[in-house]
Structure 1
Amino acid sequence: MSDAPKAANPTGADPEANQPGLGDLRVIVANHLKRRLPGRSTMREDVAAGMSIAVGNVPDGMANGFLVGVNPIHGLYATIMGPIVGGALSSTQLMVITTTAAASLTASQPLADMPVEARTGALFVMVVLAGLFQLLFAVLGLARLTRFVSYSVTTGFLTGIAVLLILSQLPTIAGYPVLGANRVMQTLDLMVHIQEVNPAALGLAVMTIALARWLPRTPLRGFGRLVAIIIPSLIVALFHIDGVQLVRDLGEIGRSMPTPDMPSMLRLAPGVLTGALSIAAVVT
């Protein structure tokens, strides 16, 4: 038997400790002050893990930026700054700070009715307000209410997010500018005009999905999804395929990090406040 000391269990007889993984997570969080900075013995593994996450965040960040409805480069900015700030302040080694599809989809709803040029400023204010709402939740102790959320509700919510994600990307995959007040109506419009689907855009999308599923299982591993984006992009560039929308078509890509700027609050729609509250509730 091992004589290694065991960390005290802070949950005691709390019935919440019976939830899968929650007891172990709270043990780590309660003992996070005892952590040590990584030493030279683990430097190689830490660098490899960081490289893997960084490479994987490139396509994820661009996809989430596109999902929100802004220039995908802003998704990359989020994946750069989020891990730096969040990693320094996080209380557990089990948490990866990154963008999520659920938060991106929630943010896209109030921005959908705004002009494209106004979305970036509105998104900035929305993210700041969402952070302030989360701080307010913590001060008021509202996080304890999450114990009353059942797994069935969580599963249903994530399933709904997954369905909306698929519906939101169908127009892009098909290369057809759909019309409709919501994702369902837009999908119906696409089905009615299925003959107008762009074969080049659809073929590239199917290729990218197949490569993204297959390449991570090869020796490329964490680099697989990045290569899955590079290969179709090279095909479009080398063969000059027309009718396929590029990232540069959505806006100019800067060569440096953007300068922080507070947009005029008077130009923002009232939905920004409710959108920030929704984001705070979803990510909490």
Structure 2
Amino acid sequence: MSITGDQAGRLHQLRRPTFTELYLPKLVTVWREGYGVADFRADVFAGLTVAIVALPLSMAIAIASGVTPDRGLYTAVVGGFIVSLLGGSRFQIGGPAGAFIVLVAVTAERHGVDGVILATMMAGAFLIAAGLLRVGTYIKFIPYPVTVGFTAGIAVIIFASQLRDLGGITLAGKEPSEFVPKLVALAGGLHTVNPSAVAVAIVSIAIIAALRVWRPSWPGILIAVAFAAVVCAVFSLPVETIGSRFGGIPRELPSPALPAFSLEKARAVLPDAIAFALLAAIESLLSAVVADGMTGRRHRSNCELVAQGAANIGSALFGGICVTGLIARTATNIRAGARGPLAGMLHSIFLLLFMLVAAPLASYIPLAALASVLVVVAWTMAEKHEFATLLRSSWGDAVVLLATFLLTIFRDLTEGILVGFALGAVLFIHRMAEMTGIEERSPLVAADRPDDGNGDRVPYDPALAVDRDVLVYRITGAFFFGAASAIGGVLDGIADKRKAFVVDFAAVPFLDSTAANVLGRVAAKAHRQGIRLFITGASPTVRRALLTHGVTPPRARYRTTLERAVADIKSRVADETAAG
């Protein structure tokens, strides 16, 4: 027997993948495919391009997260290098993400920077465990309204977190981390608005927006920040800078060191570590999916989770914060012509060189310019079109979207994701239950009438139902707990005068234990009343589930087709009539 190419492909998909196929880094794959000088030149250019974009972003995200700007650079250098070295995506760029600003800021406020570093390391361990347990296969099942909702919520929070630096507002005390108290405190400090800071922010946003339209290939963010720094230094504008608030950034990586650890501290930051791991997994795999869509490649999700875990541990060892895959920088990497993971590794090396050479210049960067960068990031990541589309699509999607969005803003990111996922699951169950149906068929129509040409039988005609002792039901769709109650009620209402009935499972692709248990009770009742039950068209998986839950002979008889079952019933009824 010969096997065609398509059959071989299907067999390859059905067999269980090996450990190497699951966790082999894409760097090795690219090297095996043949990596030449032209590929290296393309990756050098792409890595330099991404590094130019990542330099101001990494510092801005770190500052917004409540830590010093150097920690954002450590994260991009160490974490980004490990993500590309070990990752399962060919083009993924790792580093600090705007989505983590809220989580890191809250953790830093509660437990200090040491708590953030410890939570980052613990999150790395959780991500490695998730990858080895192959959890990455299931993260893709998070509903789309949930991802849009929490992304838009994070965008709103990022924007609110930058209002202080955008306006140069001076607050009497520490800026609250919660959304509403933050707005109240900022409103109370409006009288301290710095016009110079506002002007710097407006000009920076205008430069970024204009360059995106007229020169999209230019590094608009870096140009805007550099221009703002030069203007502020030349004209001695009274605005706060990295140097005035943080004293500049170091010119080298720190020595690796374990964070301060104690069981009490680990227990305290455990919820934050879980939130870090959850968001890192979602963001990184979402970024990998986007990269696949842009390039036609396929990433290894569980390998990517292991790499993200190792990157977070590495970042924490050097004093960095959370690492994840970055959609915007990954897309920039692809558009810059990257050929493989070496581009991401080179992006980290270039960032390190920038630190070594240009660290003193970072002191002149105005915080208002960095705040404007994050405002643009928040505007871009809000997914406004998708948000509006989901609001119009259906009431269920709108509820899931708004619940996730509002909980993310006013409560907590993790709570928003969990509640949104739960609502999405309930909505899915409701929709699946509506798709699952049961209809009564005439045995004559079921057995003797031809199909309509499309594989469906002709509509039921009561005039053709000559045998009133036989009842035929056909279940369509997934028979699971969401539909088990309704279908069980129909089957449970079998009239005592019936001598036999047939339940056709030919259109049931899936049956869970709840539905099998319901049919088991129906079979037991029919057997007690002397009614013969026939099961037809059940796949091996469905039949195995039914047998496990007591739908066994003599309570039920299995036939391959509906026609065969009806013929057997008619033959048995005829024999009984002759004997009577």
Same topology, TM > 0.5:
yes
Residues 17-63 of structure 1, C-alpha deviations (whole Å, 9 max, x = no match):
xxxxxxxxxx9999956433531123332221111101000011111
Corresponding residue number in structure 2 for 1:191: 187
Whether the 8 Å CA contact 2:105–2:177 is kept in 1: the answer is no
Tell me the SS of whatever aligns to 2:224: helix
Correspondence 1:208 to 2:204: yes
Aligned in 2, Cα 1:177/1:144: closer, same or farther, shift over 3 Å? Answer: farther
| Change in CA separation of 1:214 and 1:191 when aligned onto 2, cut-off 3 Å | same
Could you tell me which amino acid in structure 1 is paired with residue 235 of structure 2?
F
How many residues end up aligned between the 2 structures?
A: 262
Partner residue, 1:130: 123
**Aligned: 1:80 with 2:77:** yes
Residue number in structure 1 paired with 2:178: 182
Which digits, 9 at most, give the CA deviation of each residue in 1:125-176, with x for residues without a partner?
Answer: 2221110111122233333442431101110010111011001111111111
1:1-21 deviations in Å (ceiling 9; x for gaps):
xxxx999579959xxxxxxxx
Q: CA RMSD in A?
A: 3.1
Task: Return closer, same or farther for 1:162/1:149 CA change in 2, 3 Å cut-off.
Answer: same
Paired position in structure 1 for 2:37:
40
Q: Are 1:265 and 2:261 counterparts? A: yes
Moved more, 29-38 or 173-182: 29-38
Structure 1 98/180 Cα, relative in aligned 2: closer, same or farther at 3 Å? Answer: closer
| Partner residue, 1:245 | 240
The one-letter code matched in structure 1 to 2:209 is R
The CA deviation string for residues 156-199 of structure 1, in whole angstroms up to 9 with x for no partner, is 01011101100111111111134546232211232344232111
Is the 2:169–2:192 contact (alpha carbons within 8 Å) kept by the matching residues of 1? yes
Which has the larger Rg? 2
Over the matched positions of the two proteins, sequence identity in percent amounts to 25
Bigger mean CA deviation after superposition, 267-276 or 202-211:
267-276
Contact 2:211 2:220 in 1 (8 A): yes
- Encode CA deviations 1:89-121: one digit per residue, 9 max, x unaligned: 11221322232111233222111245xxx52x3
Following TM superposition, by how much is the alpha carbon of 1:260 offset from its aligned partner in structure 2, in angstroms? 1.8
C-alpha separation in 2, matches of 1:269 and 1:43:
43
**Partner Cα separation in structure 1 for residue 266 and residue 167 of structure 2:** 31
Normalising by structure 2, report the TM-score: 0.41
Aligned mates of 2:268, 2:240 — CA distance in 1:
29
Identify the residue that residue 135 of structure 2 maps to in structure 1.
142
Offset of residue 218 of structure 1:
4.6
Q: 1:70 to 1:220 in 2, by over 3 A?
A: same
* Distance apart, 1:271 and its partner CA: 4.3
Gaps of 5+ in 1: 14-26
- Per mean C-alpha deviation after superposition, the further-off stretch among 159-168 and 170-179 is 170-179
Q: Using a 3 Å threshold, how does the CA distance of structure 1 residues 194 and 41 change in structure 2: closer, same or farther?
A: same
Q: Is the 8 A contact 1:167 1:184 kept in 2?
A: no
The structure with the largest strand share of the pair is: 2
Gap runs ≥5 in structure 2: 15-20, 282-580
Measure, in 2, the Cα distance between the counterparts of 1:273 and 1:51.
37
Rounded to whole Å, the distance in 2 between the matches of 1:250 and 1:233 is 16
Distance 1:214 1:28 in 2: 44
2:165 corresponds to: 172
Q: TM-score normalised to the size of structure 1?
A: 0.80
Report the CA distance shift for 1:128/1:35 in structure 2 as closer, same or farther (over 3 A): same
Shifted more, 125-134 versus 179-188: the winner is: 179-188
* CA distances 1:240-269 after superposition (whole Å, capped 9, x unpaired): 122x22112224521211112234335958
Contact kept, 8 Å, 2:170 with 2:189, in 1: the verdict is no
Q: Is the contact made by 1:215 and 1:225 (CA closer than 8 Å) also made in structure 2? A: no
Separation in structure 2 between the aligned mates of residue 40 and residue 234 of structure 1, nearest angstrom: 38
Change in 2 beyond 3 A, CA 1:175/1:213? same
